[in-house]
Amino acid sequence: MFDLDKWQEIWHTITRNKMRSVLTAFGVFWGIFMLVVMSGAGHGLQSGIESNIKGFANNTCYFFSNLTTEPYKGFKRGRWWDLHTTDMDAIRQKFPEVKYISAILFGYNSDNNTLRGDKYGTYSIKGLSPDYRFIEPQEMIYGRYINEVDIREMRKVCIIGKRVYEEMFLPGENPLGQILQVNGIAYRVIGVNNPVTQVQIGGRSEETIIIPFSTMQKSYQYGDQIDCIALTAYDSYPVTDLEEPVKMLIKERNRIAPNDLQAVDSMNVAKEFKMFNGLFTGIAWLIWIVGTGTLLAGIVGVSNIMMVTVRERTKEIGVRRALGAKPFTIMVQILSESMVLTCIAGFLGLLSGVGLLQIVDTFMSNFAESGSGKIFFGSPQIPFSTAIMASAVLLVLGTLAGLLPAYRALQIKAIDAIREE
């Protein structure tokens, strides 16, 4: 049952020397405060990055051509070669694990390369396949995405990014069917898109004009050449297992030495995502190590002060022993004092840390809503599980801080304590 006298005695002991108790408690307060703040900052960084890459097909790999580094079949090293549409078709036929595959071409980004009436602007130009909308997801504000008919018939159609629409058209104006002059060639607008993810290859999607890759090949006289091949594997098949076989197929088709490690370059998005996850795990561990280390320093301070307190109360403890107090009762008294001091300081640190994170979160939300700019940082709040874990750590460390002083108190003999005084 709740013993009021016992808790009053504990409180009296703690407040007997207020300055010493406050300074001791501050170490615990600061340790848990820093643990909460660093954990919240780490969570905010992680959620901010995840919100920016959310939606991107992470089981994806991009393939590019590069200079050869090995002579092969009469070709010297240092040869430049190009990917072709037939390479993409061969990959699709040989690897049933490929879910989506797209050609990518990058157009000329000369100054004021886009014209409509008296309006002009400079935008990125990309030639893509229909599958690319599933690799780098896009929200269609108007119209549709390019389709296989556009590719087959090499239609002069285009999809414009949201920023292109805002700068080339009036607010609320329907752009569908309108004509844009891009590098001197007329294209009919069939859609307006906005990126779902902030992971964008070859320029910002909202500032890009997309045309069918076959149309770009014809308009820019690329022939069968493409700049890049992007593919996404089915979720049940890691794209990392496809990376090397696809490279070998490309080398075989383009007469490149099998042992040439640089001729076919690649960017494995799955590996990049895995690296990010590893980074977040490392940050989380570092936060807990640093935070717990700081907290332990405070706990050591509590333990030292409790040792001093036990020393000062030698006669009191001796008298209690003489009057029949059991060793367990003495031990519980010392442990309780240690736990109360630790928990009060710790929970104040926990509340202060959560309060500071809430203030920062409110400020960031207001800043984002005002449209002042983008914040590459998520809500800096700690998960409820972290708060529970921190509370558990407090209770455990509070108990550990009182063990040595409690053991010291148990060694005090009644007769020796009375004589010492």
Over the stretch 12-55, which tens digit does the pLDDT of each residue have?
Answer: 666 677 777 787 778 778 888 888 888 888 777 777 766 666 65
**Which residue carries 């700690």 as its tokens?**
382
Domain boundary pick from 268, 290, 321? 268
Burial of 334 (0-12, 13-18, 19+ CB in 10 A): buried
Q: Are 193 and 65 in the same domain?
A: yes
Task: Report residue 92 as tokens.
Answer: 């699709």
pLDDT at position 374 over 60: no
- Residues 236 and 290 occupy one common structural domain: no
49 and 64 housed in the same domain: no
The verdict on 376 and 295 lying in the same domain is yes
Q: Is a pLDDT exceeding 80 seen at residue 88?
A: yes
Q: Is pLDDT at 386 greater than 90 in this prediction?
A: no
Distance CA 189, CA 187 (A): 6
Are the C-beta atoms of 41 and 387 separated by less than 8 Å?
no
Q: Quote the domain boundaries for residue 149.
A: 60-268
Check whether residue 14 and residue 119 sit in a common domain. Answer: no
| Predicted local distance difference test score (pLDDT) of residue 255 | 92
Would you give the DSSP letter of residue 259? T
The residue type of 223 is: G
Interval 168-191: pLDDT, tens: 999 889 999 999 999 889 999 999
68: part of which helix (H) or strand (E)? none
pLDDT at 21: 74
267 near 70, Cβ under 8 Å? no
Q: Which two tokens stand for residue 107?
A: 């157009």
If asked whether residues 152 and 300 sit together in one domain, one would say: no
Q: Are residues 160 and 76 in the same domain?
A: yes
Same-domain status, 89 and 186: yes
Residues 319 and 278 in one domain: yes
Nearest CA-CA partner of 177 in 163, 188, 164: 188
Least confident of 47-61, 146-160, 195-209: 47-61
Average pLDDT over residues 328-354: 79
Residue 371 is classified by DSSP as T
pLDDT for 372 equals 47
CB of 105 within 8 A of CB of 213? yes
Q: Indicate the DSSP class of residue 205.
A: G
What value does the mean pLDDT of the chain take? Answer: 81
Instruction: Give yes or no: residues 187 and 335 share one domain.
Output: no
Domain-terminating residue out of 268, 284, 315: 268
Number of structural domains found in the chain: 2
Q: Which of 259-268, 312-321, 407-416 has the lowest mean pLDDT?
A: 407-416
What integer is the mean pLDDT of 119-144?
90
Q: How far is Cα of residue 388 from the mean position of the Cα atoms in its chain? A: 23
CB atoms within 10 A of CB 116: 18
Query: What pLDDT, in 10s, does the model give residues 233-291?
Result: 998 899 989 999 999 999 999 999 999 989 999 988 888 778 877 877 887 788 778 77
Nearest Cα residue to 237 out of 225, 249, 245, 226: 245
Range 291-303 burial, b when 16+ CB lie within 10 A, else e: bbebbbebbebbb
Are 151 and 260 members of one domain?
A: yes
Residues 221 and 262 placed together within one structural domain of the fold: yes
- Return the higher-pLDDT residue of 315 and 148: 148
